[in-house]
Structure 1
Amino acid sequence: MTLAKTDIKTDTMTAELLQAFIDIVGAGNALTSAEDIRPYLTENRGLYHGVSALVLKPGTTAEVSSIMALASQSGTPIVPVSGRTGLVGGQVPREGGQDILLSLERMNRIREVDPVADVMVVDGGAILAEVQKAAEAHDRLFPLSLGSEGSCRIGGNLATNAGGTAVLAYGNMRQLCLGLEVVLPTGEIWDGLRRLKKDNSGYDLRDLFIGAEGTLGVITGAVLKMVPRPRGRQVAYAGLASPEAALHLFETASQRCGSALTGFELMPRIGIEFTTKHIPGVRDPLNSIHPWYALIDISTSDSAETAETMMQDLLADAFEAGLVADAAIASSIAQQDAFWHLRESMSEAQRPEGGSIKHDVSVPISRIPAFLADADLAVHALMPDARICAFGHLGDGNIHYNISQPVGADKAAFIARWRDMNAVVHAVVHQHGGSISAEHGVGQLKRDELSASRPAIETELMRRIKQAFDPAGIMNPGKVIS
């Protein structure tokens, strides 16, 4: 259905305009009842709640183009929705009810797999776990791995430049993507599905959309990199005295294992206690108690024996140097998965303990011990009984600095201190030359702080880019940049 611009009232969401959007995808692919729309109106932690009269589920890039053309014509704000696993409110509409949600859940195809070139082409709504399976079917690996991989979608992974557990070896989504297909706010389609590893022809438009959180356009397709599937893998779990010991262990592992070191995670004792207490089937791999733990993952291109020997030699060196107090090497694939399940369940395990104020931050790797020490002092100065559960990807500097409420505290009163706690922790992050958003994105949660903490020219350049791509301001308004 095509409407002349004069046919549409832009000040209200008229029934005629809603029907025009519905006609693009068909009534069976549009949600209009409050009950059906409700799951799309909040983020996982319940921090943000929005209002919308309509969820559209296009099935093709052409339909997304028609939706955006009508939105541009009518001045209707559009909020792209991927797997709805985001944690910063980036996928949540505003409270005024003027936003329409555009879900890519029907656009979930694996378009093509090319094992010779080690690439695959997928829809923006392809589920990450299905992408991993498609690579595995061709004896390849798509290395992005997240706790939400069974429900998160590639478009959202790209829009937030997701990292996950293997950034150390393979990089984040920016490094795992060669090309994009994007529908612009005007409805124009940019076909940038190039499979080239070398292309220096002008500005890299791809990188503008990756990490933009749907504020510049809708990612409807992507060319993803695959890598040869490792032939050998070994995972170990080590007990440590301190973050300093973990950092030295990481240095040793990097020197001894090189590119075979695919994961290095840091976990505190309190995180182990929460996880073994609240997650069914999870147990502590070590019999003795330690203040800190490291999860080490090694992948090799030749054989399981090589990975096993490499891990044993690494731990032998670490024991001799006094870096490791105890360690367990996985004896099976099931045990490797169990070690990782413990780490990946750590955030979820905080929920039964009450309110949790979370920080997704990064600092230079060499500064992690100092950051943790300074942040702990700052947090306890603000709230002496707060329980700090700081864990994450030591190998790439990304720490999930989460704070659980004091035992017996009122959850609502604790959560009400979210901004105060953010200010304290983020001040320490800036002190150590870090970033307040490592892999979760900015969304609504960190939008104002991002603008306030970056150099004025940097914020201004971001605004100019937003204005150039979305002059009408209809593309996921209120997110990333104010």
Structure 2
Amino acid sequence: MTAAQLLDHLRTVVGAAHVLTEGDLSAWELDWRKRVRGRALAVVRPASTEQVAQVVRACVAARVAIVPQGGNTGMVVGSTPDASGTQVVLSLTRMQQIRKFDPANLTVTVEAGCVLQTLQEACEQAGFLFPLSLAAEGSCTIGGNLGTNAGGTQVVRYGNTRELCLGLEVVTAQGEIWSGLAGLRKDNTGYDLRHLFIGSEGTLGVITAATLKLYPLPVSTLTAYAAVPSLEAAVQLLGLAHAHLHAGLTGFEVMGQFALGLVVKHFAHMRVPFQASSPYCVVLENSDHHSEAHGRTQFEALLEAAMEAGCVSDAVVAESTAQARQLWHIRESIPLAQAQEGLNIKHDISIAVSHIPAFVAETDAALQQAFPGVRMVNYGHLGDGNLHYNVQAPANTDAEVFLQTQEDAINALVYAQVDRYDGSISAEHGIGSLKREKLLAHKSPVALDLMRSIKRALDPHNLMNPGRVIDCSSASGSAPTTHPNPTTQVLPHHDHPY
């Protein structure tokens, strides 16, 4: 089947208006951080699982690679085509239905193209909480969240997307449909297939729907903002928060002084408590299922104990929903302020919480010694051990030149330290193509071989998002694609806020 014949067939499957080959395709071909621009044979937009299956079968018959895509909000160049002009971008954004609420089972079944915020709001209107929350929730999709096992600000209580999923519907790399949407909490009948597809970044099949966990809405949600004298103190405060709030602790974010200073510098209208006086600040969230008074009493007891222990020097508790949003907005503004400050090197790492203070102290010192003047924009999800450990170029230097000449060396130093502390080079953003070579350097050979075996077994023609996560090109023993992974067009570096 020629490319022209394939396109004609795809038009009969999804409708001519939903096979895009001309005009401005940057929404699908340009990655979220505007680092890389690819070129697609076509953008195909199916409206149903059966249409997805027909598209996959046609592409397999033509030996054309498929790049599944949701909201295209990924951070690691994992959902845009390469530069060959031979790959089909399979956009799932037309598949937006919330298929079913099951209140007794505390589940919702939703299609992969549903925007996360849309699902959050629908669940709230139905009287339930879907707790996944992250910066891109207004544009990212459930399929993308599952494909990357997204994290966010409430992992400390509810876990990553993987922990929120009870079942999947998947179109396999052969174009077959596996329906596993029953929503069972116990099903001990062999391999748990959903876990293969969650976090696989579209390299094993196409997630088309999911059955997800729901939780009762809390009676009240309270936010506190605390100044802490050190990262050791922040870890101590986290322990006290677990002891006082128990399952009510739903958010615990740490922010370094320089990171908050960027917010003050670039968003002068924002009031940032304690920024000038404290090395670190923490945002905590307490979701209470009794009453606001009960939750506030818990919070006040926690902060009193923390001050007595010396791990909090000052604190405020939001008196209203508006004040709580203002405190969270400080945290959310850090990446935006960092982008305003200029180009930077991002690290999405995870370390055991107990080791984070030592890791930061040692790695900060090593970076300063090797690259004098670098500025550390250190913040993130301390509650689950995930830091956005970012490196800003020295002041009064050409940031673009600094990144071009020093990024690889800085990454090598940081990732060597991550290895030393038995951490992960990707906590929540995934691997994509941006970190694929780094995965090869930092994952054990046994783990890599197992991953390749799974990839070859489920996608023997290497057509599902090839070149992402794990290398299964012909050089490593699997069947090649027609055009094996030409390099994407790397654009002049434009930083992205997240």
1 CA distance for matches of 2:209 and 2:324? 33
Are 2:76 and 1:88 aligned? yes
Partner residue of 2:427? Answer: 438
Residue 351 of structure 2 aligns with which residue? 363
Counterpart contact for 1:362–1:436, Cα < 8 Å = yes
Which runs of structure 2 are paired with 1:207-246 in the superposition (5 Å)?
207-246=195-234
- What percentage of aligned pairs have identical amino acids? 45
Quote the residue 1:407 is aligned against. 395
Q: Which gives a bigger RCO, structure 1 or 2 (Cα 8 Å, sep 6+)?
A: 2
User: Aligned runs of 1:326-337 on 2, under 5 Å?
Assistant: 326-337=314-325
Matched, 1:429 2:438: no
In 1, the alpha carbon distance for the partners of 2:141 and 2:269 equals: 28
| 1:279, distance to aligned residue in structure 2 (A) | 4.1
Question: What is the CA–CA distance in structure 2 between the aligned matches of 1:280 and 1:153, rounded to whole Å?
Answer: 33
* 3-state SS in 1 of match to 2:390: strand
> Which of 448, 452, 467 does residue 463 from structure 1 map onto?
452
The one-letter amino acid paired with 1:164 is G
Q: Distance in 1 between matches of 2:72 and 2:65?
A: 18
Q: Which amino acid aligns with 1:199?
A: D
Q: State yes or no: 1:19 paired with 2:17.
A: no
User: Is the 2:112–2:208 contact (alpha carbons within 8 Å) kept by the matching residues of 1?
Assistant: yes
Give the number of equivalent residue pairs: 470
Deviation at 1:337, TM superposition (A): 1.2
User: Which of these residues, 309, 320, 326, is aligned with residue 321 of structure 1?
Assistant: 309
Q: Which residue of 1 aligns with 2:167?
A: 179
Show the 5 A alignment for 1:45-194.
45-194=33-182
What is the CA distance between 1:90 and its match in structure 2?
Answer: 0.4
Tell me how far 1:453 sits from its aligned partner. Answer: 1.7
Runs of 5+ in structure 2 lacking a partner?
Answer: 472-498
Distance 1:376 1:354 in 2: 20
Q: Distance in 1 between matches of 2:363 and 2:72?
A: 30
Q: Determine the C-alpha separation between the residues in 2 that align with 1:45 and 1:80.
A: 18
Report deviation, 1:23: 2.5
Is residue 339 of structure 2 the alignment partner of residue 339 of structure 1? no
Say which of 305, 309, 321 aligns to 2:297. 309
Structure 2 distance, partners of 1:277, 1:371, is 28
**Structure 1 residues 277 and 31, CA gap change in structure 2 (3 angstroms):** farther
- Partner residue in 1 for 2:490: none
Amino acid at match of 2:97: R
Q: Which residue of 2 aligns with 1:480?
A: 469
1:450 aligns with 2:439: yes
Return 191-200 or 273-282, whichever deviates more. Answer: 273-282
Q: 1:280 to 1:20 in 2, by over 3 A?
A: farther
User: Residues of 1 paired with 2:462 and 2:269: CA distance?
Assistant: 48
Shift of 1:277: 2.9
CA deviation profile, 1:159-190 (whole Å, cap 9, x unmatched): 00011100111111111000000001111000
2:364 to 356, 376, 396: 376
Give the aligned partner of residue 191 of structure 2: 203
- Report deviation, 1:386: 1.1
Separation in structure 2 between the aligned mates of residue 126 and residue 346 of structure 1, nearest angstrom:
27
1:273 maps to: 261
Partner amino acid for 2:341? E
Residues 113-153 of structure 1, C-alpha deviations (whole Å, 9 max, x = no match): 11221100000011100111111112110000001101000
CA RMSD of aligned residues (A): 1.3
How many Å separate the matches in 2 of 1:113 and 1:96? 42
Matched residues in 2 for 1:471 and 1:353: separation? 46
The verdict on how the C-alpha distance between 1:382 and 1:33 changes in structure 2, with shifts beyond 3 A counting, is farther
Note the residue ranges of structure 1 that are not aligned, 5 or more in a row: 1-7
After superposition, give the CA deviation of every residue in 1:385-436 in whole Å (9 maximum; x if it has no partner): 1111111111100001011122222132122132221111111111111000
User: 5 Å matches for 1:2-13?
Assistant: 8-9=1-2
Picking from 398, 403, 407, the partner of 1:418 is: 407
C-alpha displacement at 1:209, in angstroms? Answer: 0.2
Q: Which amino acid aligns with 2:6?
A: L
* 1:292 matches 2:280: yes
**d(CA) in 2 for partners of 1:382, 1:16:** 56
2:257–2:276 Cα contact (<8 Å) kept? no
The CA deviation at 1:281 is 4.9
**What amino acid sits opposite 1:40 in the alignment?**
W
* 1:215-259 deviation digits (Å, cap 9, x = unpaired): 001100000000011112211111111101101111111112111
How far does residue 47 in structure 1 lie from its aligned partner after superposition?
A: 2.2
CA contact (8 A) 2:6 2:59 kept: no
Amino acid at match of 1:99: Q
Partner residue, 2:242:
254
CA contact (8 A) 1:261 1:297 kept: yes
Deviation at 1:270, TM superposition (A): 1.2
TM-score of the superposition, structure 2-length normalised? Answer: 0.92
